[in-house]
Structure 1
Amino acid sequence: MAGRHSLRRLRLAAVMALATTLLAACSAGGDTNQSSSDSGKQAAPQYGGATGTPEGLAQGEATPDSTDQADRAAAAGETNTADRPVSTFAVDVDTASYSFAKRTLESGRRPAENTIRPEEFVNSFDQRYREPEGNGFSINTDGTRLPSTHRGADESARLLRVGLQTSTEAGGDRPDAALTFVVDVSGSMSEPGKLDLVQRGLHTLVGQLRPSDSVAIVSYSDKAQLLRPMTAVRERESLDQAIDRLKVSGSTNLEAGLRMGYDTARKGFRNSATNRVILLSDGLPNVGTTDSSALVKEIQEAASKQITLLGVGVGSDYGDRFMEQLADKGDGYVVYVSDQTEADRVFVQQLPATVALRALDAKAQVEFDPKTVLSYRLIGYDNRALSASQFRNDRVDGGEVGPGHAVTALYALHLRPGAEGHLADVRVRWQDPKTREPSELTQPITVTALNRDFAESPTPLRVSYVAAYLAEVLRSSRYAEEVRLNDLRTIAQDCGDTPQLRDLTAMITDAMSLYN
């Protein structure tokens, strides 16, 4: 055994002297065994220990083969589990990045790279997770090998999907809602598909609310105007009249609109109700405060007093980053409406569901086992990352999640040679929307769950892969070189023929003309 290790060390020294492009070709070797589940595949090197560790070495200690692998993983931008085994992030149900990118590509333009957030691409698709009972989440986990078309993927590479799901709304059990709509009526909203969509959507939404719910309407251009104070929905005629009075004029003083909106929401605050400010705008302020950070403190204070913010973005010219930052700090999220079909979905399905909540300040954490996982990378969630210590600090903001919402996180990772058994523990922590009492749920996952071939993996997992790596291409990340758009389109087409998948395939086709 010692002789074999010496030979490997000599080989490692030779490999280190070669160019990086030869590392993968020169680092293979050693005895291999194949289990029945891996029949027909090249297996990872196996060793004498019960968990695949070479004899005479501590569990998790680097071997020549795993050192080569660690070098490749580090080059791929992954985090070494020996250094940091825990990944923590605030959950995010935003989808605006995907919808806005779709509209931009349809117009023949490249989306701005800083508007692309992979997690919002993934969260735009139905994941078919099982639902929990009552408030809180179910945890759903699975994974796969990478497809053969994925460049540079070796036998140790895997994709892990972590899914959190809330229960759908049971009839009539939600609390009443007190909603303050803050509507941008500045000159930039005159473009077709902006204020006209908002007005039609608001009429539809008010018609779906309960008579015991209440609505206030604020508009803003150069200055803010209260069109209707908090009014019971049973007085629908007066609310419809206020919506019809929304007219385009002037500049965009978003600061004034939000300040009046929150002031109106505070005056109309209802205990035991869902109190929310809903901002409808193209997110392009040009008067007053035009920096989102200047508004964050007030928004955070309002959120701590249980007035949360939801953003609805509109228009081909759209301040995506501005709207996303406001919604994140307001314990809410942002959606984007590009046409009447999406407006129907948002105002008929999505917004009515947001008047109830399933979880406040929700956070997720994945603790990888260094014995089996060499390295990992969370795809997306770049501005939602938290430290491990913040997971159980309930003063740290997480995400707000409503009924029937799914949150998905994808991890690209590399296994250690011969890995088997425990892979990771997945945790989710949240506060009850009524009592603010924290709850926590943990679920383990094993290596076996990630060992299936990509073609045999569940359709939503394959769709998630396509969505995530399309986002990597659109934001020109270092990982864009690992995939080809034509391969992504083929995978999407093989996943079925639904409106969502047709949209995804069309997006990739549009991108191929701009990025190839």
Structure 2
Amino acid sequence: MKRSGSKSKLLLFTGITAVVLVLAVTLFGGNIRRLFGASASALSGSPDIQTRGESLSQKKMMRSFAEKSEGSIAPDALPPPAASPAPTMATSGPLAARPAPREQAISPSMSAPLGAPMPSEPLPTGNTHAAVRPNPFTLTVEDALSTFAVDVDTASYALFRRYVNEGSLPPRDSVRVEEWVNYFKYRLPTPTKGDFHVDLEGSPSPFTRGRHLLKVGLQGRRLGRSERKSTHLVFLVDVSGSMNRPDRLPLALRSIKLAVDGLNETDTVAITTYSGDVRTVLPPTPASEQQKIFAAVDSLRSGGGTAMGDGLKLAYEQAVKHAGENTVSRVIVLTDGDTNLGRNRNAEAMLESVRGYVQEGVTLSTIGFGMGNYRDDLMERLANKGNGNCYYIDSDKEARRVFQEQLAGLLEVIAKDVKVQVEFDKAAVRGYRLLGYENRDIADRDFRNDKVDAGEIGAGHSVTALYEVELTGEGSKVATVRVRAKRPSGSEAAEQSFSVSREQMGARLADTSADMRFATAVAGTADILRGAPQASDWSLAVAEELAKSATDGFEDREEFVSLLRRVREAKMFRSSSISGGQLSGGVQQTY
């Protein structure tokens, strides 16, 4: 009897357990499948056709630079390459060893060490990135206009290189397509008149059968050293304790010296710092007094908290004294973006405190350093709101690129509030999608509203945007491209208009310029790595072959091909780990 009773209890317990398991799978199956990558959405992808009710209104509103995210996808661990290039910053430690952050802002990211298993959820670190939703594929019958502000920032690509060189893929939210594309040099014609030349080119898409790509390129006029206006620079240097690493304050100080080397003798330099408090280390000093400036630079030491907002206000107060129509007055912030003290601890509060100085013509550049508590989201928003640009310095080589090779573009704006509007012909184009520029979106109705802030182009800067379009096969004109901009000290904008014919869309990608092919490869890679739904079936292998065919002798393009090869190895490594070590033909075709 006892044995029979035990069996009955066992059967009862087993039955109850089975019921509980069924209920659990029913109620929480979505989360379980998502944990193991087998949810229906993960398998089928997201639809790429925009519906009128869902996102059309979102697309036509200027997005907030403070838009928050629910989290970032954890970057994959890169496999050890057979002969990988040396990390750009040899002195930096592994990401896994970095301390936990003091605060989590928008989209905390993490990096997995080489060969580590992929975690099921992102592990917290201090690196924060602002998440944006990739532009949807839009039907022209619903909206034939696409309007955006130009962007010459390049920080996102330099961050990608740092992540890869340290053994990780970048967090999805750190990938901004336009900053990858605009990092590279292109052989665009020099303007013969006006401030910039507009270049249009099209081709079939190498990623999606039946679709084409349209490239809109702007090349700013170049200025020689003797042609530049008098410049007053205020370097605002973060000397807080978080900057006490070889890839932060020491690299920042070397960057300042590179910039000073490129100034004219009539230019002036001031240095302010912030940590637990703020102070002026060097009052405005002629660039000709280089020894005095360098001595002030060498005197800087790190320690204390981070009162970034107070430091920014002091720097602007210094800069506005020299602002004028014939003088460039710019604040250059060098920091890891961390801020934990002072009254103004976010971009809105910081810029609100100095809004009057911005309106008087003081521009802003944010230069990022370091990893582990890097505030990418804050740096980008500050630059956008400060009528400036955002860079990330991961090496002395990148410092030379920004502060020597591109110093004129960093210092002097040749056109401000630059907007681009593309009107697609409904008869010729079924739908389109702009790759990137999500946080530079402008309402169509504001294209000719000169009170609406837009982007700036510096001397010699180029801006490139790519559209994915689906042609109908009808009509002779594909689109009209309009560019609107103001002179640096002007208040009224001038407008130019250009037509794109079907013939310009090209018959074969191989017949297009190396610039077109390379920009396509870079944009495609970025779209894949940020997880854009429309790029879910795109191929990194195709992007790599396309990039290899278009390096055109540029060293930075060859470096991209090398980094992309390592990324493809990482993707294959992760897929083979999941499938028990066997790479299927499908995986090889995908990546």
Give yes or no for the alignment of 1:116 onto 2:175.
yes
Cα offset, 1:112, TM superposition: 2.1
Match of 2:212 in 1: 158
8 A Cα contact 1:135 1:359, kept in partner: no
Give yes or no for the alignment of 1:389 onto 2:449.
no
**1:205-232 residue CA offsets vs partner (Å, 9 max, x unmatched):** 2122111111110111111111012222
Q: 2:426 aligns with which of 363, 367, 370?
A: 370
Give yes or no for the alignment of 1:264 onto 2:318.
yes
Give yes or no for the alignment of 1:465 onto 2:520.
yes
SS in structure 2 opposite 1:443?
strand
User: So what's the TM-score if we normalise by structure 2?
Assistant: 0.71
> In structure 2, how many angstroms separate the alpha carbons of the residues matched to 1:115 and 1:233?
36
> In structure 2, how many angstroms separate the alpha carbons of the residues matched to 1:77 and 1:271?
41
Q: How does 1:69-88 map to 2 (within 5 A)?
A: 77-88=136-147
Match of 1:412 in 2: 468
Match of 2:398 in 1: 342
Q: 1:355 aligns with which of 405, 411, 419?
A: 411
8 A Cα contact 2:190 2:219, kept in partner: yes
SS in structure 2 opposite 1:303?
helix
Match of 2:28 in 1: none
Give yes or no for the alignment of 1:130 onto 2:202.
no
Match of 1:476 in 2: 531
> In structure 1, how many angstroms separate the alpha carbons of the residues matched to 2:329 and 2:220?
20
**Structure 1 counterpart of 2:421, one-letter code:** Q
> In structure 2, how many angstroms separate the alpha carbons of the residues matched to 1:271 and 1:163?
28
8 A Cα contact 1:93 1:405, kept in partner: yes
User: Bigger CA drift: 271-280 or 94-103?
Assistant: 271-280
Cα offset, 1:435, TM superposition: 3.6
> In structure 2, how many angstroms separate the alpha carbons of the residues matched to 1:294 and 1:366?
34
Give yes or no for the alignment of 1:212 onto 2:266.
yes
**Structure 2 counterpart of 1:409, one-letter code:** A
8 A Cα contact 2:408 2:458, kept in partner: no
Match of 1:439 in 2: 494
Moved over 6 A (4+): none
Give yes or no for the alignment of 1:491 onto 2:528.
no
Aligned residues: 438
Q: How does 1:219-368 map to 2 (within 5 A)?
A: 219-288=273-342, 289-317=344-372, 318-368=374-424
User: So what's the TM-score if we normalise by structure 1?
Assistant: 0.81
8 A Cα contact 2:223 2:460, kept in partner: yes
SS in structure 1 opposite 2:222?
coil
Shift in alpha-carbon separation, 1:135–1:238, aligned structure 2, 3 A: farther
> In structure 1, how many angstroms separate the alpha carbons of the residues matched to 2:321 and 2:412?
20
8 A Cα contact 2:223 2:408, kept in partner: no
**1:59-102 residue CA offsets vs partner (Å, 9 max, x unmatched):** xxxxxxxxxxxxxxxxx931111211111101100011001111
Cα offset, 1:287, TM superposition: 2.3
8 A Cα contact 1:146 1:453, kept in partner: no
SS in structure 2 opposite 1:434?
coil
**Structure 1 counterpart of 2:368, one-letter code:** G
8 A Cα contact 2:323 2:361, kept in partner: no
Match of 1:196 in 2: 250
> In structure 2, how many angstroms separate the alpha carbons of the residues matched to 1:401 and 1:271?
17
Match of 1:511 in 2: 567
Match of 2:585 in 1: none
User: Bigger CA drift: 202-211 or 396-405?
Assistant: 202-211
SS in structure 1 opposite 2:426?
coil
Cα offset, 1:299, TM superposition: 4.5
**Structure 2 counterpart of 1:304, one-letter code:** Q
Shift in alpha-carbon separation, 1:201–1:134, aligned structure 2, 3 A: farther
> In structure 2, how many angstroms separate the alpha carbons of the residues matched to 1:400 and 1:285?
26
**1:185-222 residue CA offsets vs partner (Å, 9 max, x unmatched):** 11221221221111112122212211111111011111
> In structure 1, how many angstroms separate the alpha carbons of the residues matched to 2:195 and 2:405?
21
Shift in alpha-carbon separation, 1:370–1:488, aligned structure 2, 3 A: same
> In structure 1, how many angstroms separate the alpha carbons of the residues matched to 2:530 and 2:139?
24
Shift in alpha-carbon separation, 1:234–1:451, aligned structure 2, 3 A: closer
**Structure 2 counterpart of 1:77, one-letter code:** P
Shift in alpha-carbon separation, 1:275–1:471, aligned structure 2, 3 A: same
**1:94-151 residue CA offsets vs partner (Å, 9 max, x unmatched):** 011001111111111232222210001110112211121454221110010012xx2x
Cα offset, 1:270, TM superposition: 4.6
User: Bigger CA drift: 250-259 or 295-304?
Assistant: 295-304
> In structure 1, how many angstroms separate the alpha carbons of the residues matched to 2:283 and 2:423?
48
Cα offset, 1:404, TM superposition: 1.0
Shift in alpha-carbon separation, 1:477–1:404, aligned structure 2, 3 A: same
> In structure 2, how many angstroms separate the alpha carbons of the residues matched to 1:164 and 1:391?
17
Give yes or no for the alignment of 1:169 onto 2:228.
no
Shift in alpha-carbon separation, 1:134–1:196, aligned structure 2, 3 A: farther
* Unpaired stretches in structure 2, ≥5 consecutive residues: 1-43, 46-134, 573-591
User: Bigger CA drift: 375-384 or 255-264?
Assistant: 255-264
Match of 1:28 in 2: none
**Structure 1 counterpart of 2:438, one-letter code:** D
SS in structure 1 opposite 2:531?
coil
**1:445-490 residue CA offsets vs partner (Å, 9 max, x unmatched):** 1011113211222111111111111111221221332322222222
> In structure 2, how many angstroms separate the alpha carbons of the residues matched to 1:282 and 1:101?
16
* Unpaired stretches in structure 1, ≥5 consecutive residues: 1-19, 22-75
Match of 1:455 in 2: 510
**1:293-323 residue CA offsets vs partner (Å, 9 max, x unmatched):** 2223234432221001111111133221110
8 A Cα contact 1:185 1:246, kept in partner: yes
SS in structure 2 opposite 1:227?
strand
Shift in alpha-carbon separation, 1:134–1:198, aligned structure 2, 3 A: farther
8 A Cα contact 2:325 2:489, kept in partner: no
Cα offset, 1:171, TM superposition: 5.0
**Structure 2 counterpart of 1:512, one-letter code:** R
User: Bigger CA drift: 310-319 or 84-93?
Assistant: 310-319
SS in structure 2 opposite 1:172?
helix
Match of 1:62 in 2: none
User: Bigger CA drift: 207-216 or 227-236?
Assistant: 227-236
> In structure 2, how many angstroms separate the alpha carbons of the residues matched to 1:196 and 1:333?
22
> In structure 2, how many angstroms separate the alpha carbons of the residues matched to 1:478 and 1:463?
22
> In structure 1, how many angstroms separate the alpha carbons of the residues matched to 2:203 and 2:391?
30
8 A Cα contact 1:222 1:253, kept in partner: yes
Give yes or no for the alignment of 1:183 onto 2:242.
no
Match of 1:99 in 2: 158
Match of 1:37 in 2: none
> In structure 2, how many angstroms separate the alpha carbons of the residues matched to 1:222 and 1:472?
40
SS in structure 1 opposite 2:464?
strand
**Structure 1 counterpart of 2:167, one-letter code:** G
> In structure 2, how many angstroms separate the alpha carbons of the residues matched to 1:345 and 1:495?
21
Shift in alpha-carbon separation, 1:154–1:512, aligned structure 2, 3 A: closer
